[in-house]
Structure 1
Amino acid sequence: MKAVAHNKMYFATTRTAVRVFALLVALLICVSLGSRAYAASEKYTFVLVHGATAGGWEWKSTGKFLSDDGHTVYRATLTGLGEREHLNSPDIDLQTHIDDVVNLILYEDLHDIVLTGHSYGGMVITGVMDRIPERIRHVVFLDAAVPDDGMSLWDLFGGRQQDPTRFVDGFMQVPWVKPGTPPPHSVKHSIKCFNQPVSYKNPAALALPVTYVAFIPKDQSAEQRAKTDKSWQRAVARGWTIRTFPGRHVAQQEDPRGVATLIEQSVNDRNQPSGKAVK
């Protein structure tokens, strides 16, 4: 009888332990799912910086998708470009444009931002990172220039192109800049923006988490791009996350929803141990 009673007590205790364990597992699952749901619904502040000759207008559709997802979005327009064309001058340089974005962040009192730059905008956000890293949560280079400290855009691409038709009266002239076209449209761009070096040596800036995104057109493979793209190679050497997106250099105009989603997904990317620097 004692053995039977003992067995009954043993099994009752075991069933209780199992129930408690199952309850704990269920509780952990609920907490986990809840935290994931919170992470998925977390909202960010994005500062979008356009490329050469363009303006904030070029990121209107992408910005709207980000806003529709509940985020706060600032589309910077650099001095002399876009709706600020009336301020255009050959005296505008890279530092002017860095100041544009730094002051936007400071005067709007933005913190914990996700800073993105497209094309030439990579030069601009590099300078912004160096100046105010404490305001930045994450950085995304969207098919953008990735310079080293003391490097200009012309250094990045192997020097000034010797085509006199492209450099007139202190401005770069390109085929897609067509005077007289109804706005929004691209405009001429001061040469000083391309030959002025950028500073990138602040230790706090170097430690920021960064994602490099290569826009890959149909006639190119990611493997081909990786072999020739010095910006990609610098990003790898710095331990940045590398992502690719199908599209041409202006993929944000071809697929704004896709680019908006890509930017959102990049926010939690983290740097990996860096390798050998690319010269």
Structure 2
Amino acid sequence: MTTTYVLVHGAWHTGQAWARVVPHLAASGRRVFTPTLTGYGETAHLLGPDVGLGTHTADVVRLLVEEDLRDVVLVGHSYAGLVISAVANQVPERIARLVYLDAMVPTDGENALDVMPATRAMLGDGWRVPPLPELPAPFGLFGVTDPGDVAWVRTMLGDQSLRCLEEPVAMDNPALDAIPRTHIHCTVKPEGFDRRPVPAVQPNGEPADVRELATGHDCMITAPAELAGLLLDVGDRVGAGSLRG
């Protein structure tokens, strides 16, 4: 069985963020999809106050259904941890494993502000939420410090709708709990963006699967080969069926 990956970018980015990871996965015969969510990149003209988590969940569900994708390793970076959670709640039968990549990991009924209260500091008076500013090294722009890479990241950044942060995620489908999870944590991060501890036991009863990358938040840009290696390991185990049994 060929493992299929669907890589979902985080807030302010586009599917182009995965450009350095895709060749590593594809070279091993994997199918890879990197959708750009509504309101970003080529669909920036569609951004409005009504675009939110539900919009982005529908984007990914539509991809899975239209392409008839099954046994998917569904990867969500940062904000997209909420997106993949909501997607798996709607179509759990299509998902082999969830991968939370330095991501927000919600519970039923939470929104992004609940999961990471530090995001409240980014809110202004309107519905647009601009990208985070560049920080001094080693944190840089979303963890990217190389000047050329910073310039490249800037080409894909755009505003996000406030609704993305305020809309709660639905995780009330009992079938969702059966899906195994992997958590990949980037260890270079600024203060104030602490992540929740990962419970020792997953909802399906398996031990927690937590990996680390010694790099900044946008690891798909700063450590693409290392990230791909972790994803290939997860995919290989899914393909062998060992993660479900």
Give yes or no for TM over 0.5. Answer: yes
Query: Greater helix share, 1 or 2?
Result: 1
**Residues 106 and 155 of structure 1: CA distance in aligned 2, closer, same or farther (over 3 Å):** same
Aligned to 1:66: 25
Structure 2: runs of 5 or more not aligned: 135-150
Contact 1:153 1:195 (8 Å CA) reproduced: yes
**TM-score normalised by L of structure 1:** 0.72
1:151 aligns to 2:110 (yes or no): yes
**TM-score normalised by L of structure 2:** 0.81
- C-alpha distance in 1, partners of 2:91/2:11? 22
**Residues 89 and 264 of structure 1: CA distance in aligned 2, closer, same or farther (over 3 Å):** same
**Residues 207 and 186 of structure 1: CA distance in aligned 2, closer, same or farther (over 3 Å):** same
* Paired letter, 1:258: E
Contact 1:150 1:200 (8 Å CA) reproduced: yes
Aligned to 2:124, which of 161, 167, 178? 167
The SS at the match of 1:47 is: strand
**Residues 195 and 216 of structure 1: CA distance in aligned 2, closer, same or farther (over 3 Å):** same
Aligned to 2:15, which of 56, 60, 70? 56
The SS at the match of 2:12 is: coil
The correspondence of residues 92-241 of structure 1 with structure 2, limited to 5 A, is 92-158=51-117, 161-162=120-121, 166-176=123-133, 184-217=155-188, 228-230=194-196, 232-234=197-199, 238=203, 239-241=207-209
Aligned to 2:215: 247
CA deviation map 1:138-162 (0-9, x unaligned): 1111100100000000011237625
What is the count of residue pairs matched by the alignment?
220
Task: Report the identity percentage.
Answer: 34
Aligned-residue RMSD, C-alpha: 2.7
- C-alpha distance in 2, partners of 1:202/1:218? 33
- C-alpha distance in 1, partners of 2:202/2:73? 22
Contact 2:2 2:29 (8 Å CA) reproduced: yes
Once the two structures are TM-superposed, the CA of residue 252 in structure 1 deviates from its matched residue by 1.0
- C-alpha distance in 2, partners of 1:44/1:201? 27
Aligned to 1:3: none
The one of the two structures with greater contact order (alpha-carbon pairs below 8 A, sep at least 6) is 2
Structure 1: runs of 5 or more not aligned: 1-41, 273-279
The SS at the match of 1:169 is: coil
Query: Looking at CA atoms only, which structure, 1 or 2, has the larger radius of gyration?
Result: 1
